Structure 1
């Protein structure tokens, strides 16, 4: 995919800034006689079971000859020792000596203190923004670890800003994926307005999934009577699809319906939402009505699904 010149310029500007910042943090490498590369090597040795020279070369991306000279210096300073493998005489494991462990602990403490000094002038919200931005960069550029449901935080207490952000997500995602126009966002705004006007936590519930403080999934149950409820606003952010989030949200919503004694749940969707429809069907919903509509800039079919909840 083409990269815009402005994007390249922004990254280069950030690199210059961050290089200066790291230079200040690592000046004289925390008042020790060791270079940044040497401290990184000590860190890996201290935090890796059965660490070998080959493993260090791979992780640190450094020349083998340079690493060999570095390790000899560590052994001379009595901060690293070698231990022969009990199963393979050709393999030698690297480990910190007691002196090396004390050194690494001291360097860790100094590093932590420097970072505290950099971040301390910032309010807590900005500290969180900095760390989340760094995590995002790592996630996007090379350290991509598959997300799971365990990485997310789930809650159902509505907080200020939640509904506004849900409206934004609906407008943004549906515009990109189905080309719905502004009429759709107007519709979403109105439905949420009506919901908030009559919101009663005793019969209604909004289920939210968040990642790094941002909403990435949602669904709601609206109680219309003692026995009838509606499932609304099921949404899963594109980055979170494929991990079972939609299934969990629907399951949690239906568990709430059973808890409240609702006997029937219905929802309205369109024929374009095939993935969601499959999810509803697997949860036990059946399609009961199809109505042709012209709305949101499309000719489509509005579909009604219903679920009878049985008590055991």
Structure 2
């Protein structure tokens, strides 16, 4: 699916959900006011906090909180941390209004879900959650660039791999990737057919990288290799973005699947690979030379 098609489907969905109407769920609430009620039910908030939660400007949040206040669906109390602001919270009348709203909208959505089989509903939930996370991640990635490795990056990439390996206790004497004799010539290693390595750069610093290469001994499989990221890079979704780019590249090269080896110490990495559709397999594939990596995973295309 391309961006144009997704945007068209999103527009259609917004209209079908009634998000362009002045009322939400046939009730005297705009969509923004309904979202504000829901947020107040989750936790009281100041105007600034509500603006942040709803991802709207402060005047928009203030205006809709004032409407709820006038309807007696919300009330205020002094903010003990800041005498210049008030904390808005739900009133019993507001809670009752919200309960009615949830009832109306839940019945509506239940009617839609009866048109879908159980596995389709499960897939919809996973896809919507993934899409939402992707939107959040993209907002954190401004200024970070994923690009192919060059010879000028070799020293920085090797330093990243050594630093992260030391962080997790992946020492050279135990046969991990940090022991590879080609660690200081990474740009040369990934020049062959079906190979690629990308680095993540921010403010002229290399903060991580990862690559794809044929899996030794397996003609139709590739291997996801040398995925290492400094702590300051983590939490922005960039490791996943790079891995997705690598998997897309692998498909264009005609590979039938992608293999990787890792260790239980790297629990965050394992969770990432599982989210990308990799599954654990009992036996090692190919000839990677990394006998210390006890976790083997495979994703088929």
TM-score normalised per structure 1: 0.48
Return the structure number with greater relative CO, CA threshold 8 A, min gap 6. Answer: 2
TM-score normalised per structure 2: 0.49
